[in-house]
Structure formats: structure tokens, C-alpha cells
Amino acid sequence: MDIWRITGERKLEGSCTVQGSKNATLPVMAASLICPAGTELFNVPQLSDVDSALRILRHLGCRAYQQGNSVYIDSTAISDSTIPEHLMEEMRSSVFFLGALTARCGEARLSLPGGCRLGKRPIDLHLDALRRMGAEIEENGGEILCRARQLTGCEITLGFPSVGATENIMLAACAAKGSTVIRGAAREPEISALSDYLISLGAEITGAGTSSITIEGFKPRKQTHFRIISDRIAASTLMCCTAAAGGRVELRDVVPEHFSTVTDVLAGCGCDMIRTGDTLTVSAGGRLSSPGYFSTEPYPGFPTDAQPVLMAALLKASGTTYIREKIFENRFRQAAELRKLGADIETDGNLACIKGRERLYGSRLEATDLRGGASMVVAALGAEGETVICDSGHISRGYEELDKVLCSLGADIKATPHNTSAAADG
């Protein structure tokens, strides 16, 4: 159990570099399997989810390790196409190994992935698409066996722009005969990042970042290197920390257009934003005002991953805020914990209503999931007195040394790590 002790109401001042993107790193790590080649990745955050992906790669026979913010993977000699349950359940992103292993070995045997318990999180869209490409899939309880002697390119229309399904199809399509067209594809920046990585391996892909992506089977290269994009959710979290605590923070090495929906809501609440190139400076002084309403949407809409942290930043905003969560059924789990700080939050299905309170008071909280845990850190920074957050490894799955980053900006946080990992969260 990691214990965070946060004494709130300290303004944040200074400058920090935002970490590389977790959600771009994990699909790229799975993609490194597609052809027998060496991959060097830069700007990789040091996270327990990255450790989990490295463990899976090593289990499959790759050489794979992280040194600082670089990851090295040599997938020349794969000895296995089966991933045991204990490795699959460590994170949601293990699902990408389905497409990658099927592409490389013509077979994948694995169990359903773990992941933050945000709702049902089925993978029917992934499986339907692979079947359309010619894979035979057996589902036996929680186990999946996917076999394809030769995948065949085809046109796949997604009923919902699922990020994970789009990425899995892109991975499988790299080994398919002929071209694959994904219609209704997700448009998240992480999709473009995966496309850029696959192109660096030799793939021919057009349209990533739009709702229609075309992938051709390709001749692999032997070696590639790739820089992971900046994490838009970590940047959004640091903006929300500043909004909750007050102060002025410069975020370096960001792509502001990747999280402009979050910036726009905060600007509407009274935060000042100054953007210069790959730097964004956020300033917050005095009480925020409620934005009234916002809802989560597929990209380029407001990201579901930033909803819990923005909710936390708005607990003290004047007025009432309504939040409609449109991606996951169960993404207000943080609300019950935030109430312990004195927050006035009511939830009804996928709608949350927050009545801004003038003050919040430190309490003892339990992190519910990755972004829910981060939302408690945000709220604690704006609360009077000490908040203790008990976290069974959720926050370190997605944030690289968040406590140290915030302390470097003036926060008062004492985090005591204990070496136990979160049970299946993602």
C-alpha cells in the first residue's frame, strides 16, 4: 500500500516537464512484436504498467528492458504465443498483444485483460474485427484462443470509435494480405502515435487521426527508434492540480492541442492559459467559477481520463457543475471518497452534480482506480489540513513520480511507497 500524506492549500509555482504518454507507450510496446526487429523507444515514462508490458514481452521470448526513460526491445526470437492469466490481468493494455501476436505468430492464446473497473469494458469489437479478417476465435470462460493462418485485409466499420479496437485492428492489419480499411475509427493522438511507430517499422498507413484509416501489409525493417508523445492526461492532471491549489505552473514538452478541451474548460472557470510552442502556463488565483456543464466524448471531445481530475478541481468552484460521463458506465467511483473531504457531489447513473463548497477538509481516502486516485491528489491540494490517501498501486500505474513533481512545485506531500501492486487496474 502506498500512503500519500498531503497538506493542502499550498500554492504551486514553477516549471516541470510533462512525462511521456502511458497510453501511447503500451500499444507501441505490443507493436514491437509484429516483426522480428529491434526497437528503441525514448521518452517512456517509468510506470508499473510499463513494467507489466516488459514482463509480457520477456515471457514471450523478447529481450526487453527499461533504462531511465528509454526502453529497448528485441523481438527477433519469440518462443511463445501464450500469455498467462497473471500477466494479462495486470493491466487493460495487455489486450494489444492479441492483435500483435496474431500478426506475428498466426496465433495468440490469452485471457481477458485486467483494467480499471470503470464498467463492463467488453472486447467484442476487437474480436468481431479479427474474425472479419479471417481469424478463428474460441472463447472459453475467460480464455481466448485466436488463430489465423493468413489474415486478410477487409473493410471494418466500428459502431463506436473504440481506441483499443482501432489499435488492435491496426496491429493485425500489418500482417494481413491486402489492405484493411477501418471506418468509424478512434481519432485519439495515441492512434496517430501508433501509426507513426508502425510506419517507422515499414508499414503503409494513411488516415490515422481521422475516422477512416487504411493499412497495407508491409515489409518489415530490422531496427527502429521512436519517441513517445507527451502525456495529455498527465498534463491535464497537473493543470487541475494548479487550478485546485492556486498558483502558476509552466508545463514543458506538451502538445497543447491534444488537451485543448481540458484547457478550454479551465479557462472558462477563470484560469489563465498562456501557450508558447510546446509550453503551456496555467495560472489560478482566487475561487474558480463553475463551467456549468461538460461531458466526456471520444476525441476530439473531452477525455474520459481527465473527468475525475477536473471533477476534483471543481469541488470548490462557485456554482453548480453537471458532468455527463459518456464513455464508461462506472466512472464516478471517486465521488464517494471525495465526499469525505466535505465535497457536495451527487451521482445518478452517468450524471454527476457538484455544488461548489467554499472549503474542503483533509480526511483519509482510498484510491479507487488510476485516475480516481489522481483526483484525490488534486482535491487534497485544495483541502485544509492533511489528507491521507491509501493507494494499492493505482497512481504509479499511470503517473511517473507525481509526488516528486508536485513537491518540486511547492506542494507538501510525503509519499511512502510500499511494494505491492494494484490488483488488475487500467
Q: Which residues bind ligand UD1 (CB under 6 A)?
A: 23, 92, 119-126, 160, 162-165, 186, 188, 298, 303-305, 327-328
| Comparison of 42 and 160: residue with beta carbon closer to ligand UD1 | 160
How far is it between the farthest Cα atoms of the chain?
63
- Apex 25 CA angle, 71 and 172, nearest 5: 110
CA–CA separation, 252 vs 255, rounded Å?
9
CA–CA separation, 425 vs 89, rounded Å?
8
Min dist. Cβ of residue 299 to ligand UD1 (A): 7
In the set 35, 116, 146, 241, the catalytic residue is: 116
Q: What burial letters (b/e) apply to 244-278, b meaning 16+ CB within 10 Å?
A: bbbbbbbbebbbbebbbbbbebbeebbbeeeeeee
Min dist. Cβ of residue 201 to ligand UD1 (A): 22
| Comparison of 20 and 217: residue with beta carbon closer to ligand UD1 | 20
- Apex 329 CA angle, 326 and 331, nearest 5: 85
| Comparison of 329 and 344: residue with beta carbon closer to ligand UD1 | 329
List the grid coordinates of 153: 485485409
At residue 265, what is the residue type?
V
| Comparison of 191 and 409: residue with beta carbon closer to ligand UD1 | 191
Strand partners of residue 227: 42
CB-based contacts of 232: which residues, under 8 Å, 6+ apart?
Answer: 21, 189, 254, 255, 258, 259, 262, 303
Residue 27, φ and ψ in degrees, nearest 5: -65, -35
**Radius of gyration over alpha carbons of the chain, in Å?**
21
Min dist. Cβ of residue 330 to ligand UD1 (A): 10
Min dist. Cβ of residue 348 to ligand UD1 (A): 18
Question: For the chain, how far is it from start to end, CA to CA, in angstroms?
Answer: 17
CA–CA separation, 32 vs 41, rounded Å?
10
List the grid coordinates of 63: 529481450
Catalytic annotation present for 407: no
The residue behind cell 481466448 is 144
Min dist. Cβ of residue 147 to ligand UD1 (A): 20
Residues annotated as catalytic are: 116
